[in-house]
């Protein structure tokens, strides 16, 4: 029998992460950035860890950068990823 195709689990889209997950449709990587101190904010915290401001909005990145490291997953425990 032919093995049933499995699709990876898709992330749940929330107001906090919507710009990140949907920016790709426009060819953009969008990351939240504090508009007061210009610090890039990782995650969904409502506060900037640099200046404690709340003026954080999604912003498209420049597309330039350096990859310092990466990981490759060979074994997962999630059936949706083919485990």
Give the chain's residues under pLDDT 70: 1-8, 75-83
pLDDT of residue 81: 59
Residue 45's contacts (CB-CB under 8 Å, 6 or more residues apart) are: none
* Cβ proximity of 42 and 20 under 8 Å: no
Residue 71's contacts (CB-CB under 8 Å, 6 or more residues apart) are: none
Which token pair is 38? 């210009």
pLDDT of residue 7: 60
Rounded Cα–Cα distance for residues 76 and 7 (Å): 14
pLDDT of residue 6: 58
pLDDT of residue 78: 63
* Nearest of 60, 35, 61 to residue 50 by alpha carbon: 35
pLDDT of residue 62: 93
Predicted structure pTM score: 0.67
């Amino acid at each position: 029998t032919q093995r049933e195709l499995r699709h990876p689990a898709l992330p749940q889209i929330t107001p906090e992460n919507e710009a990140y997950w949907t920016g790709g449709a426009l060819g953009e990587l969008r990351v939240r950035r504090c508009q007061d101190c210009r610090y890039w904010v990782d995650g969904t915290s409502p506060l900037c860890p640099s200046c404690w401001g709340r003026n954080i909005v999604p912003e498209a990145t420049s597309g330039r950068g350096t990859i310092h490291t990466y990981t490759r997953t060979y074994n997962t425990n999630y059936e949706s990823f083919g485990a």
